[in-house]
Amino acid sequence: MLIICLRSLCLSLIVCSIM
């Protein structure tokens, strides 16, 4: 569960930095 949360957080961070 924690790994999934970290993954989604990382993904959203990447998306935010792209935008």
pLDDT score at 10: 85
Q: Report pLDDT digits (tens) over 1-19.
A: 677 777 898 888 888 888 8
Whole-number Å distance between alpha carbons of 12 and 2 = 15
CA atoms within a 13 Å half-sphere pointing along the CA-CB vector of 18: 6
What is the predicted pLDDT for the residue at 3?
A: 79
Question: Which pTM does this prediction carry?
Answer: 0.14
Q: What is the pLDDT of residue 19?
A: 81
| Widest pairwise Cα distance in the chain | 27
For the chain, give the mean pLDDT: 82
